[in-house]
Amino acid sequence: MSTNTELREMSDEQLDATSKEASQTLFRLRFQSQSERLNTPSEIRKNRRLIARIKTIQRERTLAAK
């Protein structure tokens, strides 16, 4: 997906959009995992980590702005 450098180059609006998209994907994957078998169970972990990376970058930016 996105590497840390790609995420750091994104604007705040792009990070928000990417975070929302990843959250929606994570929701669909969790729902799918409960109702049927996932083809790639590792996608859940990848999306969780992507959301964590985005939140970390957003937090660093808010702290740097202060």
Q: What residue segments make up the domains of the chain, in order of their start?
A: 4-65
Q: What Å distances lie between residue 55 and 7, 12, 60, CA to CA? A: 11, 11, 9
DSSP 3-state percent helix, strand, coil across the chain (nearest 5)? 80, 0, 20
> pLDDT tens, 11-64?
999 999 999 999 999 999 999 999 988 889 999 999 999 999 999 999 999 999
State how far the Cα of 55 lies from the Cα of 61, in Å rounded to an integer.
10
**What pLDDT, on a 0 to 100 scale, did the predictor assign at position 32?**
93
Q: Span 4-65: which CATH code?
A: 1.10.287
